[in-house]
Each structure stands twice: as C-alpha cells, then as structure tokens.
Structure 1
Amino acid sequence: MLPLTVWLCSDTADESGPEKSSRVCSRHRHAVGAELARHLITSCTGEGDLVVEAFTTGEATLRAAAELGRQAIACVPSHPLVRHILVRLGAALPKEKLTGLAMRPCRPDQMVRGLSDRLGEVSLVVAEPPRYEIGGRAAQDVTNGRCPACEVSAGMLTDERLAGFLAASWRVLRPGGHLAVITTARYENGRLVNPSPRIVQRASALGFRYVQHVIALRVPVEGDVLVVQAGPEGMGQLRDVRSRAVPPAARVHADVCLFTKPGARPGRDGGR
C-alpha cells in the first residue's frame, strides 16, 4: 500500500501587516504556504540543492528555500506578479539570502526552455496547479479582476498544459529527484472533482514512481479539534436560511502527491 502521512501546515499570517494591502487575493496569498514548503524542502532535498516551483503565485517556496540554505527558481510568466514577489522577498529576507533565488519568465509547461541551463540538476519541483478543465470544460474560477496570480492562473486551466508541465518536470529533475503536486478536491456543478487520480495516472505514464501521499492540514489544531473558519461568502450563505445551495466547503487540507524520478545520483540516495 502507498505510504500515507499527515503534516501540520497551518499558516497564520498577520492580516494587519503587508498581507492586507497585497494585490494578491486571499485564495492565492498562501497557495502553497510557508509551512508546507518547509516540510517538502526539508524532506526531499539537502543543503545547496536546487528547488523549482511551477505555477508560482507567491513568495513562500522561494523564501523557505533561502532560509533552509537551498537554491530556488520560480516559473513566473507575469511581470506584475514578479514585482509583487520581489517586494515580498525583499521585505522578508536580508540581501545575502536573495543571491540563490531567481525567477524565470516561463510557463510551467515551458520549463525545459526556461531552465535549459539547469536540466537534470533539480532536486525538487513543487507545484500547486490551478483548477484545470474537466471533461473538456474549463473549470469555473472566481477572480477579483486585479490579482496578478489569478491572471497567471487563467492561462493554465487546460489538461494539455498540465500534461506539458509533468513532461517538463521529468526533463529538469535529476535522477532520484522529487516532484510534489499539491491539489484540493472540490465540488463543481454538484459533483466532487478530485484532480489527484488523473495527475497520478499521467505522471506514472511518464515513468515517475508515486511514493507518498501526504495530507497537509491547512488549519490550526487545538488539542484534538481542527479550528476551521468560514470565509465571508460561506458565512453569508449560512445566514441565509432560504438558500438551497450546497453547504459551504472549508479548505481544511490539501493532498500532496509525491513522486520520484527513478535512479539515484552517485553518492546520494533517491529519497529521505
């Protein structure tokens, strides 16, 4: 049976600080999240290793990599989002910590071109893809019209580009390197949509080994209780007793599908 583990990955940002004035919407503000990024980087890489993030919407992965002594490259094809991430990193890290970080102006499915100088050198690829099309229909996503991360995500909502990203990940990873794909099941048009099985199927067809499934709890835990808070839309729906809509769903956890590219670099094992 596939190994299963649970990580506590709640991020409690101070909304009175820079987050509040951020142009990035609340859904993208911690798409991967600092705690989840730290878990992945410490579990799958060693000091000095190279981490790549695709579908980047914030600074969490880059910041965690720098703090843990890793190199990191993010695929960010949007200049407004690049500027946003640079401001966030500059406020959070000293200048000497920024030297090992970079952003490349390429889509996730174009990583082979964007990282042509680092092919076969990457130890970990981290990605939380946006909602992509299901059954030929584009997934319904609500954006605030101003969020630079939403603008980037809107160009990624196709199954074809997701497949291109997985193929590109295979090319950039070193033998024994890891691919972490983060997903969240959702209700869409009255049915539960879980992207994980399709991602596992496509990755396995490329030769990846599916080695671990992680349940990343994104809400705080107090004793044996999950502290779940509904958003404004959910609270409004709860107050409307006449509503016939499906009860609001809270994002309590994310599913992390962890894959390994078979083979091992000389002197290194394929995992930790």
Structure 2
Amino acid sequence: MVPLTVWLCSDTTETTTDTATSKGARAAGPAVGLCVRHRQAVGRELARHLIGACTSDGDLVAEGFTSSEATLVGAADLDRRGIALVPHFPLAQHIGSRLRATLPVERSARVEMRPVRPDQMARGLADHLGEVGLVIAAPPPHETGGSPPPRSGERGCPACRADLWMRSSEQLGLFLASAWKVLRPGGVLAIITTARHQAGRLIDPAPRIIRQAQGLGFSYVQHVIALRVPIDGDALVVQAGPADLAQLRGTGCHALPPPVSVHADVCLFTKPRSRQENGDAR
C-alpha cells in the first residue's frame, strides 16, 4: 500500500499580502486575473509544502503546465532555485507582474521562466539535465482524460487562454518522459490532480498518471490529500464565490448541487537512484 498523508494547504495569499510587499502588490492588482481552477492548481501553501518536504537549500525546482507564480515564489522564499515553463506570452506577463509585486529583487534572481511547452522540458532545461530535485505539474483536464476548459473562461483568465492555445496536443506522456531526463537520481516528481464529474461520470486522473509514470520507471511513493479549505474544529470551512452562489437551488430541487473543490490529489514519484532500484526498466 502507498502511504497516504494529509496536508493543510488553505491559501490566504490570494487575498492578503506580506506587509513588506503589500504596496507593490496593490499596484500590480490582486490575482483576480486567474480563474478559481487555476488559482487552486498549485496554490502557494501546497507549493511550499512540496518544496520544503522534497528538496534542500539550493536545490533546483522545475514546473510544467505552469498557471501561476506560486511555485516560483515558494522556491525563492525557501532558498531554492526555480524554473517555470511558460510558453504562452500573455500568461508569462501575468506571472511576471505577480513576481515583481511579491518578491524582493534579491529573491527574484533565484527564479526564471522559459518559453517552453511541458512536453519540451528536457530541451528547455538542457543545461540542467539530471540536476533537478523536484518537478511539479498540475496538468489541465484535457491532458488527464477530461474535456477541454469551456471557452467562456478564455477572455478573463490568462491561464485558460494558455490551456486553449495548447489543448490540441497530448503532452502529458512526453512531459513525464522529459521529467525523467531532467530529474537527478532520487529526485521527486509531483503531479497534482482533482477528481471531477463530467457528463454524469466521475473522472479520476490519478490511476492513468500512475500507470504512465511507472511505465517510465518512476517509483510511486506517496499519495497526498491537500486540503484547500481551512478547518474550524472538526469542520471544513467552504466559502462560496459568486459563481457558486449563482448555482444555489431551492431545497425541493432534485438537481445535483454545485461541485465544490475542497482538496487536490498529489501523486509523488521518485526517480530511482540506481538501475537496480528501477528493476532494469530503462
């Protein structure tokens, strides 16, 4: 059995800013440019948990399918180096503005973005092959067995526009193969997903991702349930946004209630340190 653990990862950083940077953050504007799904993909608290648990000072953290600044901020704050793959220029502009509003100059030097697709990670990190300590990714639904995001989110969210721009190609398998090349022996691959209902059926991407990763030689070492909402005593504090309130129904309605995402599933894999540990799979 794979060990199971729970992390408390409720993010308040989207509505509150550090005292030292609040003036700059207000000047750049709050992170309202991202839709809820992309704000939650890799929240800052989850990024800090992953980076703190899986790497040491000075390690290199890489991210594919990047949708926000969370991983880069976490890497800089924890004295790591960070590289995010952001091939879509409008999204890179959005993330860059968030980084400038959040990180002091001396910390921003630790992180960078590269205009590379997730499936091209090995090419984009050719100068760091076999050196990365942690690779983080939260693939979009169309990469993990679901449908592409609705076009209604295209105008307001730069990450939605990036998803739509890249949705015609299946990149997940090639991304996993590239992650193998850039990770050092003993390095960690973290894939973040969320089970969801679509067309009347439950779609859980985790089993498919686990099969693909193990087929490449990764060892599946841990499953993490990352709670995205705060806990008050023994209750989860779920706060509805305007979109959720618009879907509220009367008590006599027989329709399903609006879905509320309270957690993410995080699958952690390691690249074995030796060919023997890998069962000569490669």
Question: Match for residue 152 of structure 1?
Answer: 162
Following the alignment from structure 1 to structure 2, what is the Cα–Cα distance between the partners of residues 54 and 101?
14
Of all paired residues, the percent bearing the same amino acid is: 57
Question: Match for residue 280 of structure 2?
Answer: none
**Is 1:43 matched up with 2:44?**
no
Question: Match for residue 65 of structure 1?
Answer: 75
Instruction: Report matched runs for 1:63-142 at 5 Å.
Output: 63-132=73-142, 138-141=147-150, 142=152
Following the alignment from structure 1 to structure 2, what is the Cα–Cα distance between the partners of residues 63 and 220?
21
1:83 offset after TM fit, Å? 1.4
Residue by residue over 1:195-215, the C-alpha shift from the partner in whole angstroms, topping out at 9 and shown as x without a partner, is 000000000000000000000
Question: Match for residue 5 of structure 1?
Answer: 5
Equivalent residues of 1:2, 1:212 under 8 A apart: yes
Question: Match for residue 205 of structure 1?
Answer: 215
Which one-letter code corresponds to 1:3 in the other structure?
P
Following the alignment from structure 2 to structure 1, what is the Cα–Cα distance between the partners of residues 64 and 202?
25
Following the alignment from structure 1 to structure 2, what is the Cα–Cα distance between the partners of residues 97 and 211?
32
1:100 offset after TM fit, Å? 1.4
**Is 1:14 matched up with 2:15?**
yes
Question: Match for residue 39 of structure 2?
Answer: 29
Which one-letter code corresponds to 1:259 in the other structure?
F
Equivalent residues of 2:9, 2:226 under 8 A apart: yes
Relative distance call for 1:86 and 1:128 in structure 2 (3 A) is same
1:81 offset after TM fit, Å? 1.3
More deviation in 45-54 or 30-39?
30-39
More deviation in 173-182 or 228-237?
228-237
SS at the partner of 2:33? coil
More deviation in 64-73 or 83-92?
83-92
SS at the partner of 2:247? helix
Equivalent residues of 2:144, 2:209 under 8 A apart: no
Question: Match for residue 168 of structure 1?
Answer: 178
1:152 offset after TM fit, Å? 1.2
Q: Please, which of 56, 59, 62 is the counterpart of residue 66 of structure 2? A: 56
SS at the partner of 1:132? helix
Relative distance call for 1:79 and 1:144 in structure 2 (3 A) is closer
Following the alignment from structure 2 to structure 1, what is the Cα–Cα distance between the partners of residues 71 and 143?
26
Instruction: Report matched runs for 1:230-245 at 5 Å.
Output: 230-239=240-249, 245=255
SS at the partner of 1:249? coil
SS at the partner of 2:163? helix
Following the alignment from structure 2 to structure 1, what is the Cα–Cα distance between the partners of residues 216 and 72?
27
Gaps of 5+ in 2: 18-25, 275-282
Equivalent pairs, count: 263
Equivalent residues of 2:144, 2:208 under 8 A apart: no
**TM-score (normalizing by structure 2):** 0.87
Following the alignment from structure 1 to structure 2, what is the Cα–Cα distance between the partners of residues 110 and 138?
23
Gaps of 5+ in 1: 265-272
Equivalent residues of 2:6, 2:224 under 8 A apart: yes
SS at the partner of 1:160? coil
1:80 offset after TM fit, Å? 1.3
Question: Match for residue 226 of structure 1?
Answer: 236
Question: Match for residue 278 of structure 2?
Answer: none
Equivalent residues of 2:195, 2:205 under 8 A apart: yes
